[in-house]
Structure 1
Amino acid sequence: MKTARTYLALLAATVAAFLLAAGAPARAEPADDGNRAWSVRPGTADGKPDRRTHYTLQGDLGKKVQEMVLITNSSKVKASFLVYGTDAFNTDTGAFDLLPAATKPTGIGSWMKFASPAVEIEAGATVAVPFIIDVPAGATPGDHAGGVVVSLAANGTDVKLDTRVAVRVYLRIAGLLRPTLEAQKVQASYAGVSNPIGKGGVDVTYTVVNTGNIRLASHAKINVTSALFGTRLGGEAKKELTELLPGQRVTYTAHVDGVFPAGPIDANVILEPYADPDQPVGQQIATAKTSVTIWAVPWLITLLIVAVLVGLAVLIGMRFGRPRPGKGKGGGGAPKKPTPPTPPTPSKAAETPKRATRPVRDMPNVARPGKQEKKPATTVVEAAK
Structure 2
Amino acid sequence: MSRGQPVLGRCTVQSFPTRARPISRLAALLALAFLAGTAAAIAPAAGSFAEGDDGTIGISGAPLADANTTGRTRFSYQVSPGQTVEDAYVVANTGTVAQTFAVFATDAFNSEDGGYGLLDTGVAPSDAGAWVVFDGGTTKLDILLQPGESKVVPFSVTVPADAAPGDHAAGIVISAVSPDGQVLVDRRVGTRLYVRVPGELQPNLTVSSMTASYEPTLNPFAGDTTVTFTVRNAGNVALGADMIVGVTGVFGVGLGAAVEEELSEMLPGSTRTVTVVVPGVGQWVYLNPYVSMAPKVDPEALNPGPLSVVHRDIVIFVVPWVLLALVVIGLGVWAWIRFSRSRNDRNAKAWIEHTEAEARRKADAERDLVGAGEGSRGVSES
Q: TM-score, normalised by structure 2?
A: 0.65
| Partner of residue 331, structure 1 | none
Cα distance in 2 between the residues matched to 1:164 and 1:300: 56
- How far apart are residue 153 of structure 1 and its match? 5.4
Cα distance in 1 between the residues matched to 2:242 and 2:103: 36
Listed as ranges, the gaps of 5+ residues in structure 2 are 1-51, 332-382
Cα distance change of structure 1 residues 32 and 132 upon mapping to structure 2, 3 Å threshold: farther
Q: TM-score, normalised by structure 1?
A: 0.65
**Residue 127 (structure 2) aligned to one of 107, 127, 138:** 107
**Residue 33 (structure 1) aligned to one of 51, 54, 57:** 54
Computing the radius of gyration over CA atoms, which structure comes out larger, 1 or 2? 1
Does 2:216 correspond to 1:192?
yes
More strand by share: 2
| Partner of residue 42, structure 1 | 63
What amino acid maps onto 1:95 in structure 2? G
**Residue 272 (structure 1) aligned to one of 294, 298, 302:** 294
Cα distance change of structure 1 residues 260 and 49 upon mapping to structure 2, 3 Å threshold: closer
- How far apart are residue 119 of structure 1 and its match? 1.7
The aligned runs of 1:139-288 (5 Å cut-off) are: 139-152=163-176, 162-194=186-218, 197-226=220-249, 228-279=250-301, 281=303, 283-288=305-310
More helix by share: 2
CA contact (8 A) 1:36 1:159 kept: no
- How far apart are residue 159 of structure 1 and its match? 8.8
SS in 2 for 1:109: helix
Cα distance change of structure 1 residues 155 and 186 upon mapping to structure 2, 3 Å threshold: closer
What is the CA deviation profile of residues 47-73 of structure 1, one whole-angstrom value per residue up to 9, with x for unaligned ones? Answer: x98320000111111221211111111
SS in 2 for 1:110: helix
**Residue identity (%):** 34
Cα distance in 1 between the residues matched to 2:329 and 2:146: 87
Q: Whose RCO is larger (CA < 8 A, sep 6+)?
A: 2
- How far apart are residue 286 of structure 1 and its match? 1.1
| Partner of residue 146, structure 2 | 122
What amino acid maps onto 2:59 in structure 1? W
CA contact (8 A) 1:221 1:235 kept: no
Choose 155-164 or 202-211, whichever is displaced more: 155-164
The aligned runs of 1:62-77 (5 Å cut-off) are: 62-77=82-97
Cα distance change of structure 1 residues 193 and 45 upon mapping to structure 2, 3 Å threshold: closer
Cα distance change of structure 1 residues 61 and 299 upon mapping to structure 2, 3 Å threshold: same
Cα distance in 2 between the residues matched to 1:157 and 1:303: 65
Cα distance change of structure 1 residues 49 and 203 upon mapping to structure 2, 3 Å threshold: closer
- How far apart are residue 79 of structure 1 and its match? 2.3
Cα distance in 2 between the residues matched to 1:306 and 1:176: 63
Choose 75-84 or 300-309, whichever is displaced more: 300-309
SS in 2 for 1:229: helix
- How far apart are residue 205 of structure 1 and its match? 0.9
CA contact (8 A) 2:196 2:302 kept: no
What amino acid maps onto 1:104 in structure 2? A
CA contact (8 A) 1:190 1:200 kept: yes
Cα distance in 2 between the residues matched to 1:235 and 1:193: 16
Cα distance change of structure 1 residues 200 and 154 upon mapping to structure 2, 3 Å threshold: closer
Cα distance in 2 between the residues matched to 1:52 and 1:256: 38
| Partner of residue 87, structure 1 | 107
